[in-house]
């Protein structure tokens, strides 16, 4: 099994995906263990002094003015975990929780948190045992970190609360730890706070969304090319010299992908046939501009993610010169903004795909295709309601594009008076990515059927490869009306698994 070694200088997006989705094992580097021990020595020295230090010998948040005596400090650390594990709602997905735990371990290993090496090792042991804490949908405001989600994870380290075992069964966390030979941790000064004060949940979801969108934006280029073919559009608008004079990188990449898919098509360029056109509609002609803008948004979001992956997010932090200083690095604004920005781009990409699908189904705009791509229009409804489903998804995506980060509800007796709502931004982006996949699946379903109905005109070799692959995957072609939901589900699975891109790339080579 693949192993990810966590050092003191951060991790990569590939590391996060390997642990969260691939079940990779986690090991601590010698450098990380040494950094953990050094920082812990600083915390222990401060804890022994009579002077109060926030997070070490005081309460937290609005209760930070109380100095906590030594005999109550272990209880203080246990209590912050127990009281902050206050999430409600449905369970969060396993991959999100594993990403959350791994990214918290990343910060712990930086040597800036004051957590003992044995606590970090227990975090790695829990991940390696396949134990997943039960984390709930609601409880994070994205400031002071993803508090409730991280607290539920810390509760598992203490042997309390519920967790899911590698067999998928939810059991008391203490039982699961015992079954895997893992001793519950007994938290000491600073450790409870350090385990729950970070942007790890929203960051993990950003990393996974970027990985999914990388495939979906390539998929959107393929479906846009298929729709252009089915509508007898022109590929002249994809010429690289046209995009070079407006040099947005994403736009150029998207146009190049579409042009590669359309290479060798007998369906393009029929503007002066029976239904003359000067230009294609915006949804066809401007596909690279819209998808390209989304790609450039992803590039910015990826830069933010890389910076955050290299960060140590905690409050207070232990500095190499021995100081323990409070800060505001736990504020999720940098991550929240790009999560919201991506949701806007996703909604627009889905919107333009739906417009192309609607055009394929409208006999007045499809340039010779039967109404709704039906076998016997009037007797058959064809794909009429598939487009309704697509429209409903796009409408939902537009609501999901409303930014969460523009909201703030003060908390902790006005000590935490401005919060990021980054966790909420991440949760809605996950839903948006899921729905974009379905929207593209419906465009794929319509475009492949439409191309097959263009008898006597051969599609591009890449398009034919996609049609062959999607039919082999169980998505049926043209014919009389049938139960449509299974076809749409099969198309969704085809896009979701990346098979659409794979099928096209067998002809085009790697897409950008």
Which residue numbers are catalytic? 54
With H, G, I as helix, E, B as strand and everything else as coil, classify residue 26: strand
DSSP 8-class letter at 190: T
Residues contacting residue 284 through CB under 8 Å, at least 6 positions apart: 224, 227, 228, 231, 233, 356, 359
With H, G, I as helix, E, B as strand and everything else as coil, classify residue 10: coil
Residue 490 CB neighbour total at 10 angstroms: 17
Q: φ and ψ at 338, to 5 degrees?
A: -75, -30
Separation of CA 97 from chain center = 13
Structure tokens at 400: 């999901």
In 24-47, which positions are buried (b, 16+ CB within 10 angstroms) versus exposed (e)? bebebeeebbebbeebbebbeebb
Among candidate residues 321, 334, 477, 340, the one with its CA nearest the CA of residue 402: 340
DSSP string, 41-106: HHHHHHHTSSS--TTTSB--GGGTTSBPPHHHHHHHHHHHHHHH---EEEEPPHHHHHHHHHHHHH
Pairing relationship of beta strands 3-6 and 25-28 according to DSSP bridges:
parallel
CA distance 437 to 94: 20
Among candidate residues 424, 416, 405, the one with its CA nearest the CA of residue 334: 405
DSSP 8-class letter at 372: G
CA distance 301 to 230: 34
Residue 264 CB neighbour total at 10 angstroms: 14
SS3 letters for 374-426? CCCECCECCCHHHHHHHHHHHHHHHHHCCCCCCCCCCECCCCECCCCCHHHHH
Give the H/E segment covering residue 163: strand 162-164
CA distance 326 to 318: 9
With H, G, I as helix, E, B as strand and everything else as coil, classify residue 162: strand
Contact criterion met (CB below 8 Å) for 328 and 315: yes
Place of tokens 């090496």: 117
CA distance 355 to 361: 10
Kindly report the length of the chain.
512
């Amino acid at each position: 099994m693949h192993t990810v070694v966590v050092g003191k200088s951060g991790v990569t997006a590939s590391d996060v995906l390997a642990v969260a989705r691939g079940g990779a094992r986690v090991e601590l580097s010698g450098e990380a263990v040494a950094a953990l021990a050094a920082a812990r020595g600083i915390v222990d020295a401060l804890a022994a002094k009579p002077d109060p230090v926030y997070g070490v010998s005081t309460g937290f948040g609005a209760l930070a003015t109380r100095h906590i005596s030594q005999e109550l400090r272990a209880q203080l650390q246990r209590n912050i975990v127990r009281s902050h594990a206050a999430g409600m709602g449905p369970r969060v997905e396993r991959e999100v929780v594993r990403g959350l735990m791994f990214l918290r371990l990343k910060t712990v290993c930086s040597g800036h948190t004051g957590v003992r090496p044995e606590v970090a090792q227990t975090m790695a042991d829990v991940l390696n045992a396949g134990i997943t804490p039960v984390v709930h949908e609601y409880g994070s405001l994205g400031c002071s970190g993803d508090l409730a989600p991280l607290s539920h994870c810390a509760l598992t380290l203490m042997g309390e609360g519920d967790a899911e075992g590698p067999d998928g069964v939810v059991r008391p966390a203490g039982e699961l730890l015992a079954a895997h030979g893992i001793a519950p941790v007994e938290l000491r000064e600073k450790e409870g706070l350090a385990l729950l004060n970070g942007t790890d949940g929203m960051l993990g979801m950003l990393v996974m969304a970027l990985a999914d969108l990388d495939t979906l934006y390539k998929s959107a280029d393929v479906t846009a090319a298929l729709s252009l073919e089915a509508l007898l559009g022109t590929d002249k608008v994809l010429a690289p010299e046209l995009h070079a004079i407006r040099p947005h990188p994403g736009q150029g990449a998207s146009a190049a992908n579409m042009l590669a898919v359309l290479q060798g098509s007998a369906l393009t360029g029929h503007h002066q046939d029976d239904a003359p056109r000067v230009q294609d509609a915006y949804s066809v002609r401007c596909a690279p501009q819209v998808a390209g803008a989304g790609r450039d948004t992803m590039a910015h979001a990826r830069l933010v993610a890389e910076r955050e992956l290299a960060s140590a997010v905690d409050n207070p932090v232990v500095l190499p010169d021995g100081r323990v200083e409070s800060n505001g690095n736990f504020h999720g604004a940098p991550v929240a903004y790009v999560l919201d920005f991506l949701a806007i781009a996703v909604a627009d990409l889905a919107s333009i795909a739906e417009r192309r699908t609607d055009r394929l189904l409208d006999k007045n705009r499809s340039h010779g295709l039967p109404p709704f791509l039906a076998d016997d229009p009037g007797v058959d409804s064809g794909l009429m309601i598939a487009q309704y489903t697509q429209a409903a998804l796009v409408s939902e995506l537009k609501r999901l594009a409303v930014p969460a980060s523009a909201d703030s509800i003060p908390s902790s007796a006005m000590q935490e008076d401005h919060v990021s709502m980054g966790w909420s931004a991440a949760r809605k982006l996950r839903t948006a990515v899921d729905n974009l996949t379905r929207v593209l699946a419906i465009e794929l379903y319509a475009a492949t059927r439409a191309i097959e109905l263009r008898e006597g005109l051969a599609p591009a070799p890449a398009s034919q490869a996609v049609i062959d692959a999607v039919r082999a995957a169980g998505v049926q072609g043209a014919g009389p009306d049938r139960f449509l939901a299974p076809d749409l589900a099969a198309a969704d699975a085809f896009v979701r698994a990346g098979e659409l891109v794979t099928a096209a790339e067998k002809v085009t080579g790697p897409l950008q």
